[in-house]
Copies of this chain bind each other. A is one copy, B any other.
Amino acid sequence: MSDLSEAMFTTPEMASVFSSAALVRRMLAFEAALARAQAAARLIPPAAAEAIAAACDADEPDLPALFREAAEAGTPAVPLVRRLTARTAAAGRGFVHWGATSQDVVDTALVLQMRDGLGLLERGLRDVAAACAGLASRYRGSLMPGRTLLQHAVPITFGLKAARWLAAATRLRRRLRDVRAHVLAVQFGGAAGTLAALGPDGPRVTELLARELDLAAPEVPWHTERDRIGEVAGALGVVAATMGKIASDLVLLSQTEVAEVSTGAQAGAGRSSTMPQKRNPVEAVAASACARLALGVVPVLLAAGVQEHERGAGGWQAEWEALPALFRYAAGAVDWVRRAVETLAVDEGRMAANMTAAHGLMMAEALVMALAPRTGRDEAYRLVADVCAQAARAGADLREAAAADERVAAALSGAALERVLDPARYLGSADAFIDRALAAFAEEPA
């Protein structure tokens, strides 16, 4: 699939991990591992395991036909096991898929794909975090307006903004490691979760099988208790939303009137078909689109967790499409954000200019806090609101209006007023927060 979907809404690596061909390879890996585990448990002859494993090494020759038959059978396991059996040497032919059910092989294959997919997302988030850490350090002192409800609030620095993105990315990395620990469990239950065909050997074979595949052995099979899948879905949804947040910030900062950052320094990106002056924030826009698509898949997977009795009739099957889609879109969101933050051009001059845009009113809170110890916070608030209104009426600066106000003058000397209204002195714990985000990043594996 080399189409618009693959080009815009995922990465080639994730598309490859979750291709249908990769699913089939993972299913064969399960069958080989199962045979080895059963040979180790002396349930089947060693020669059988060797024969099966050898047959599993081969790529499936005609995937389109396989998938057509999968649709007829309602599961890809049925035609694959048939083909695998047919091409397994006589010694193993009778022992293919021994004691397993379709869902064992499909679920475990999906788990193996998820392992790779989580790895890709973790690496992507690491790169996002590293780029944000660079921005947090480099722009630690770069003043810019803090904006709440998209209105100027009080000053912040661009370093702090990047540090907040960084802190979130670090939390996401930790969260994905938890997910890994909870979720990467083999599925093995047989036809209805009893492993009946293995007699009393179910748990032992499960352990061996898990070891073969380097997965956890679950306490019980989980054919229709999909909390593991749900946990993946929730976590990737949070990844997507967080990427959406960073992308949204970048789109807003890129606006013509704001122009504090621009993305996609590379030649040609974001051009318009008719307007030669335009540079669209395409990376951030694409990240936002991917995040929306990923978020749309989450409720499908959560709702699919309501599965009937010992095998779901609809919910389980929907996962085959939805899980790959979720990983693909989440990877797209992470990667477009990565591209944006790695190539971000930051215009500190513009940030400084925007600070002064609204008559310096952004420093009103600072003035309130400076007056409050003397007047009480409430009275100070009213007083400064008054001064702001005067400034607005006069088209003047807060600084000028404050200096002209007798009540302010009574409380603060001219020099004190200057200090109070200096945004660089009204940053509170910004530096401390940047340090903490960088420290948390430094503790993560590289």
Given contacts A295-B300, A295-B303, contact A308 B274 (CB under 8 A): no
A76 within 8 A of B: yes
> Which residues of B lie under 8 Å from residue A100 when comparing CB positions?
273-274
CB distance from A328 to the nearest CB of B (A): 10
> Which residues of B lie under 8 Å from residue A321 when comparing CB positions?
4-5, 8-9, 289, 293
A415 within 8 A of B: no
- Residue contact B64 to A2, C-beta cutoff 8 Å: yes
Q: List 8 A-B contacts (CB under 8 A).
A: A102-B272, A148-B310, A151-B281, A153-B272, A153-B275, A202-B432, A257-B354, A274-B368
CB distance from A118 to the nearest CB of B (A): 15
- Residue contact B256 to A219, C-beta cutoff 8 Å: no
Given contacts A274-B191, A309-B150, contact A19 B3 (CB under 8 A): yes
A445 within 8 A of B: no
CB distance from A407 to the nearest CB of B (A): 14
Given contacts A305-B244, A365-B197, contact A76 B254 (CB under 8 A): no
- Using CB atoms, name the residue of chain B closest to A276: B385
Q: Given the complex of chains A and B, what is the CA–CA distance between A178 and B183 in angstroms?
A: 14
- Residue contact B150 to A308, C-beta cutoff 8 Å: yes
Q: Given the complex of chains A and B, what is the CA–CA distance between A272 and B100 in angstroms?
A: 11
- Using CB atoms, name the residue of chain B closest to A67: B7
Interface readout for A279-307 with B: 1 if CB under 8 Å, 0 if not?
A: 11110111111111101111110111111
Interface readout for A155-172 with B: 1 if CB under 8 Å, 0 if not?
A: 110001101110110011
Given contacts A101-B273, A285-B74, A365-B275, contact A153 B310 (CB under 8 A): yes
Given contacts A225-B168, A251-B314, contact A276 B194 (CB under 8 A): no
A61 within 8 A of B: no
Q: How many copies does the complex hold?
A: 4
A413 within 8 A of B: no
Q: Which one of B190, B256, B284, B377 contacts A428 once the chains associate, using CB atoms below 8 Å?
A: B190
A154 within 8 A of B: yes
- Residue contact B432 to A252, C-beta cutoff 8 Å: no
- Using CB atoms, name the residue of chain B closest to A96: B377
CB distance from A71 to the nearest CB of B (A): 4
- Residue contact B305 to A429, C-beta cutoff 8 Å: no
Q: Which one of B8, B151, B231 contacts A278 once the chains associate, using CB atoms below 8 Å?
A: B151
> Which residues of B lie under 8 Å from residue A20 when comparing CB positions?
3-5
CB distance from A351 to the nearest CB of B (A): 11
Q: Given the complex of chains A and B, what is the CA–CA distance between A269 and B68 in angstroms?
A: 11
A409 within 8 A of B: no
> Which residues of B lie under 8 Å from residue A72 when comparing CB positions?
266, 268-269, 282
- Using CB atoms, name the residue of chain B closest to A312: B149
Beyond A102-B272, A153-B278: 19 further Cβ-contacts under 8 Å?
A2-B64, A72-B266, A72-B268, A95-B377, A148-B192, A153-B275, A164-B193, A193-B433, A197-B365, A203-B429, A220-B437, A230-B234, A234-B302, A242-B305, A249-B309, A276-B385, A276-B388, A287-B314, A288-B317
> Which residues of B lie under 8 Å from residue A220 when comparing CB positions?
163-164, 167, 433, 436-437
Q: Which 4 A-B pairs have the closest CB atoms?
A: A234-B234, A146-B192, A94-B376, A288-B314
- Residue contact A305 to B241, C-beta cutoff 8 Å: yes
- Residue contact B7 to A194, C-beta cutoff 8 Å: no
A198 within 8 A of B: yes
A209 within 8 A of B: no
A214 within 8 A of B: no
- Residue contact A68 to B7, C-beta cutoff 8 Å: yes
A75 within 8 A of B: yes
Within 8 A of B (CB), among A310-356: 310-315, 317-318, 320-322, 324, 354
- Using CB atoms, name the residue of chain B closest to A375: B94
> Which residues of B lie under 8 Å from residue A298 when comparing CB positions?
234, 237, 298-299, 302
- Residue contact B368 to A276, C-beta cutoff 8 Å: yes
A227 within 8 A of B: yes
CB distance from A354 to the nearest CB of B (A): 6
- Using CB atoms, name the residue of chain B closest to A19: B3
Q: Given the complex of chains A and B, what is the CA–CA distance between A380 and B98 in angstroms?
A: 12
A36 within 8 A of B: no
